[in-house]
Amino acid sequence: MRNDNNKGMALIGTMYFAVILYAISGMFALRVINENNLTRIEKTSSKSFYAAQSGAEEALRQLDSLINTDLSDTIYNASPSGVVSFAQNQVNAGDGLGWLVYAVRRNNVAQLAQDGDQAEYTQSGTIDGANYNYTIILTEKDDPAGSGPDAWDFSYSYSIESTGTVGDISNNVKLSGDFTVQVQRDNFAKYALFTNSQTTTSGSNVWFTDKTNFSGPLHSNGRFNFAFNPSGTFDDIVQQKEQQARFYNNGWTVLIDAESNGTTDVPSFNAGYNRGMSAVTLSSPTLEADMVDQVNGNTNINSAGIYVPNQAGNTSGGIFVEGNCSIAMSVDGNDNAVYTIVQGTTTKNITVNRTSNQTTVETVGGSTSVYDGLPDGEDNAGSIIYVNGDITSLGGTVQRATELTVASNNDIVIQNNILYSEYDAGSGTPGVSGYVAPSVIEAAGETKNLLGLVSWNGDVMIGSSAPNAVNVHATVLSSNGVFTVDDYDQGSPRGTATILGGVITDNYGAFGLFNGGTGQQISGYGRNFVYDERMSNGSAPPYFPTLDAFLAFSDNIDDKLVWQEGE
């Protein structure tokens, strides 16, 4: 009996152990299943989250495209009078949202749907097998407002909600921010070089050689001329109206529909060379009379002299000079802009204090007057000097935080370096590997220094007294003449003239001569035209002549971006 009991107890123990082992195995299996489920859920959740994040990033890119492609194209291709009328009507009505909904079009189809006081754009997509959908919601941040002659600002806030979904699991990501759409007339300052004809006023061809370097966009309503190998370096797009380019061909000029003449004449195009393009008219709705009206402040000026128009002790225009004069720009010890102008036997020092918002006019050997306000024209768009005559000598430093245009009815002669007080000087030698061009870089909302030179009926010239390797920081426009060098065919080589800005002229002025056999510079300057990249974003000197078309753009869509994981 005892043996039977022992056997029974052993069997019971074995069964008990088996039950426990089975239970443990079941618990382990259940745990594995749960962990697998949790892992699957975590992977699915992560995948849906990254889909939501990808959707939000795509929405931000789409928002930029809606504004800087669709809206921009709509405004650029619209009639100028229609742009002015519609923008001004919406500004007067305080309806920036209505303007936006109408203007954001693709193939003339509105892209935004208005729902009360907001506009919406919805889209969906897939990434790595996960789905996302997003909605962009736009509301007015501030009432639209005029920002200058034929210029307006439209401010908006936006929110983006993106949902990523995998199976039955979803995640949300939210983005928010604000931006301003700027609308203004297109301007000639956007070109590093613009010419109606790539010849001198007498009809002689002017050649690009290895002493030619351009870092911005070029356009000619004629054709460009290239000589030798290399025959110039061009870092941005080059466009011309004529289908064929002109090549020197060792003195036997040829016209070829090509980017080079074999290995004989070889320009270096780093962004393309487009031929057969539409002509751009070198005319402007901004006329010389409009500029004069901005400067003279409704003051009747009929005798030679230097004037700062004012009314009741307040400036009412810009700086107006009747008769030929010289202008030297400088910065005083208090960081104020000073313009020393000599006209006939009169010399005046005009000091512009932007901190105190005052302009001081000192007549050398005479009296001093102080006016409230700045010589920023009737529309307060920036400082402006107009000379009804020739500017026989111009040079000096443009003070920081100053936007200035110096214009003349006739010639402007540059007799010294013209430098911005705030700029990056760059390094190296133009045309040589490793060269870093000078530049002006501004943070959002910042204004450094900006200069425009405008000759309405004459030429802009680098004078015989200008230094070797001269620097000119300005965008130059000569609507009926050229930008050239006095005595370019005389004396020894004078190095390279570096222009930080752009050149817009009727014909193309000569800067120097080269040996027709060797390509070596004989006299005058080589050209180093460095594009001021600020102009590509719609910047321009104040009151600078404009094109008929309008620009609309925003360069701050993602400046104040807020990210949030949704619930």
Give the tens place of pLDDT for each residue, 152-181.
999 999 999 999 888 888 888 899 999 999
Cα dihedral sign, 95-98-101-105: negative
pLDDT value of position 516: 77
Which residue type does 1 have? M
Q: What is the pLDDT of residues 131-160, one digit of tens each?
A: 999 999 999 999 999 887 788 999 999 999
CA 159/CA 498 separation, integer angstroms: 45
Q: How confident is the model at residue 6 (pLDDT cuts 50, 70, 90)?
A: low
Q: What is the pLDDT of residues 200-252, one digit of tens each?
A: 888 889 899 888 888 889 999 999 999 999 898 898 999 999 999 999 999 99
DSSP 361: E
* Cβ atoms of residues 191 and 72 within 8 Å: no
- Among 358, 273, 272, which Cα is nearest to 308's? 358
Question: β-strand 193-195 against 493-505: which pairing, if any?
Answer: parallel
> Amino acid identity of 134?
Y
Q: What is the CA radius of gyration of the chain?
A: 33
Q: C-alpha 468: how far from its chain's center?
A: 30
Of the ranges 34-38, 64-68, 74-78, 183-187, the best mean pLDDT one = 64-68
pTM: 0.75
DSSP H or E run through 27: helix 2-65
* Region of residue 385 (phi > 0: left; psi between -120 and 50: alpha; otherwise: beta): beta
Contacts 24+ apart (CB under 8 A), 295-303: 295/319, 295/320, 295/377, 295/384, 295/385, 295/386, 296/320, 296/386, 297/378
Residue carrying the six token digits 């259940």? 30
- The whole-angstrom separation of Cα 399 and Cα 489 is 34
Across residues 298-304, what is the average pLDDT? 86
For range 112-117, the mean pLDDT: 94
Q: Is the pLDDT of residue 98 over 70?
A: yes
Q: What percent of the chain has pLDDT over 90?
A: 59
Task: Please answer whether residues 542 and 382 qualify as being in contact, where contact means their C-beta atoms are separated by less than 8 angstroms.
Answer: yes
Q: Output the pLDDT for position 448.
A: 86
**Taking a C-beta distance cutoff of 8 angstroms, is the pair 526, 211 a contact?**
yes
Q: Where are the beta strands (DSSP E) in 344-390?
A: 346-353, 358-363, 368-372, 383-388
Q: How confident is residue 32, by pLDDT bands cut at 50, 70 and 90?
A: very low
How far is it, in rounded angstroms, from Cα 306 to Cα 346? 8
Percent residues over pLDDT 70 in the chain: 90
The pLDDT of residue 16 is above 70: no
Q: Which of 53-57, 373-377, 546-550 has the lowest mean pLDDT?
A: 546-550
The whole-angstrom separation of Cα 520 and Cα 509 is 19
pLDDT of residue 178: 93
Q: Which residues of 356-386 are buried (b: 16+ CB within 10 A; e: fewer)?
A: eebbbbbeeeeeeeebebbbbbbeebbbbbb
| Residue 22 pLDDT exceeds 90 | no
Q: Name which residue leads in pLDDT, 191 or 20.
A: 191
pLDDT of residue 526: 87
Candidates 393, 405, 417; CA nearest to 324 is 393
Instruction: Check: CB of residue 198 under 8 Å from CB of residue 208.
Output: no
CA distances from 351 to 16, 314, 321, 354, 356 (A): 104, 15, 16, 10, 11
What is d(CA 90, CA 94) in angstroms, rounded to the nearest whole number?
A: 6
Cβ atoms within 10 A of the Cβ of 46, count?
15
**What are the b/e assignments for 274-307, b being 16+ CB within 10 Å?**
ebeeeebebebebebeebbebbbbeeebeebebb
Question: What distance in Å separates the CA atoms of residue 464 and residue 486, rounded to the nearest whole number?
Answer: 6
pLDDT tens readout for residues 452-498 = 999 999 999 999 999 999 999 999 999 889 999 999 989 999 999 99
Who has greater pLDDT, 436 or 17? Answer: 436
Alpha-carbon span 294 to 22, nearest angstrom: 96
Is residue 503 within 8 Å of residue 214, measured between CB atoms? no
DSSP assignment, residue 277?
P
What per-residue confidence (pLDDT) applies to 100? 96
Rounded Cα–Cα distance for residues 86 and 383 (Å): 29
Angle at 326 between CA 323 and CA 330, to 5 degrees: 135
CB neighbours of residue 528 within 10 Å: 25
Question: What is the residue type of 83?
Answer: V
Single-letter residue type at 147:
S
pLDDT in tens, 388-422: 999 999 999 999 999 999 999 999 999 999 999 99
The answer, yes or no, to whether residue 4 has pLDDT greater than 70, is no
Quick: pLDDT tens for 494-520.
999 999 999 999 989 889 888 877 778
Ranges of H-type helices in 138-218: none
Q: How many residues does the chain have?
A: 567
* H-helix or E-strand spanning residue 493: strand 493-505
Q: What is the pLDDT of residue 9?
A: 59
* d(C-alpha 388, C-alpha 343), whole Å: 11
| Residue extents of the structural domains in the chain | 2-188+555-565, 286-389
Peptide bond into 230 cis (omega under 30): yes
Q: How confident is the model at residue 38 (pLDDT cuts 50, 70, 90)?
A: very low
Is residue 26 within a helix (H) or strand (E), and if so which, with residue range? Answer: helix 2-65
CA 534 to chain centre: 4
SS3 assignment, position 42:
helix
Please provide residue 13's backbone torsions phi and psi, each rounded to the nearest 5 degrees: -65, -40
